[in-house]
């Protein structure tokens, strides 16, 4: 089942995608954040019989627009760890992103000129939590995952490396394209790629993760309770612009597309203003 949050003339709506061109409104739920807060969300979505929407003309919002927590994982692809000259970690490296950083999968990203000197892409698989998780075991962790989506952990490298704490370079307003769908049936192992102006920058498979989704749910839920609609961003693969020689960054007017086979793509043009 594929779910999304769409913008309409009267507000946002939660929808179930029935095929590539048509979706059904899930009446009573303005977005997927509201839907996932219902313990019976899966049955509600499957049984929805609301208005039909043409996805070819739809305006997609961030797939889960109001997560209470966005927990990011750094250095979690073997290829990226190697290019950064680091050893494989014993434990996940965690940091935070705020919900204000999210934007729709096809929105323009507006970047202030003072933060535009070292803009970078990070293709990531997003894990969306579907049930309250506290100190869950690895064998049960999968049952707490609602599904998966695509996100670009868009990064201002100059801000990121001003201090040892990364958050400040990761959470500028409305910079991280997120969506288009929450897919409840996705399985690891498909291709994840980034293209800058059509040129492939990153290419890996999602089973190159050091710590997989179930391990992350187990680990994080022993630190903080995960709530429905929370998001775990699982890390990026090799090929980021900052690690290249010479470094390559996103410039004004350039479009970055992050895609995961089986999940779809986010495609955002950067506007420096």
221 pLDDT above the threshold of 80:
yes
Q: What is the largest CA-CA distance in the chain?
A: 53
Q: How many Å apart are CA 109 and CA 116, to the nearest integer?
A: 11
Cβ neighbours for 138, distance < 8 A, ≥ 6 positions apart: 214, 215, 218
212 backbone dihedrals φ, ψ, rounded to 5°: -80, 175
> On the CB side of 98, how many CA atoms lie within 13 Å of its CA?
8
2 pLDDT above the threshold of 90:
yes
Can you list the positions of beta strands (E) in the chain? 2-8, 11-17, 22-25, 52-54, 59-60, 70-74, 93-97, 102-103, 109-111, 119-120, 123-129, 145-152, 155-156, 176-183, 191-196, 199-205, 231-233, 255-260, 264-272
Q: Taken in order 21, 26, 29, 33, is the CA torsion positive or negative?
A: negative
**Per-domain boundaries in the chain:** 2-60, 70-272
Is 4 within 8 Å of 182 (Cβ atoms)? Answer: yes
* Tens-digit pLDDT profile for residues 38-60: 999 999 999 999 999 999 999 99
Q: Residue 165's pLDDT band (boundaries 50, 70, 90)?
A: confident
80 pLDDT above the threshold of 90:
no
12 pLDDT above the threshold of 90:
yes
Read off the pLDDT of each residue in 116-143 and give the average, rounded to a whole number: 97
Q: Residue 194's pLDDT band (boundaries 50, 70, 90)?
A: very high
Out of 3.20.20.140, 3.30.390.30, 3.20.20.70, 3.90.850.10, the CATH code matching 70-272 is 3.90.850.10
Is 271 within 8 Å of 253 (Cβ atoms)? Answer: yes
């Amino acid at each position: 089942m594929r779910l999304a949050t769409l913008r309409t003339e009267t507000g946002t709506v939660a929808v179930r995608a029935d095929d590539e061109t048509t979706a059904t409104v899930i009446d009573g739920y303005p977005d997927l954040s509201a839907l996932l807060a219902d313990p019976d969300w899966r049955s509600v979505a499957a049984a929805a019989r609301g208005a039909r929407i043409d996805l070819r003309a739809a305006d997609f919002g961030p797939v889960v627009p109001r997560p209470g927590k966005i927990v990011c994982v750094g250095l979690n692809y073997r290829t990226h760890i190697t290019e950064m000259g680091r050893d494989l970690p014993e434990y996940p490296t965690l940091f935070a992103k705020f919900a204000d950083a999210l934007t729709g999968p096809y929105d323009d990203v507006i970047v202030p000129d003072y933060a535009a000197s070292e803009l970078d892409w990070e293709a990531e698989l997003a894990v969306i939590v579907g049930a309250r998780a506290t100190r869950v075991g690895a064998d049960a962790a999968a049952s707490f995952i609602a599904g998966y989506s695509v996100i670009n952990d868009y990064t201002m490298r100059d801000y990121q490396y001003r201090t040892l704490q990364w958050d400040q370079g990761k959470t500028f307003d409305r910079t991280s394209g997120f969506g288009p769908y929450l897919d409840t049936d996705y399985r690891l192992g498909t291709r994840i790629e980034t293209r800058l102006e059509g040129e492939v920058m990153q290419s890996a498979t999602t089973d190159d993760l050091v710590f997989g989704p179930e391990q992350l749910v187990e680990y994080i839920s022993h630190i903080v309770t995960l709530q429905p609609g929370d998001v775990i961003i699982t890390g990026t693969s090799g090929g980021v612009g900052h690690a290249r020689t010479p470094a390559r960054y996103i410039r004004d007017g350039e479009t970055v597309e992050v895609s995961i086979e089986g999940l779809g793509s986010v495609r955002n043009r950067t506007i420096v203003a």
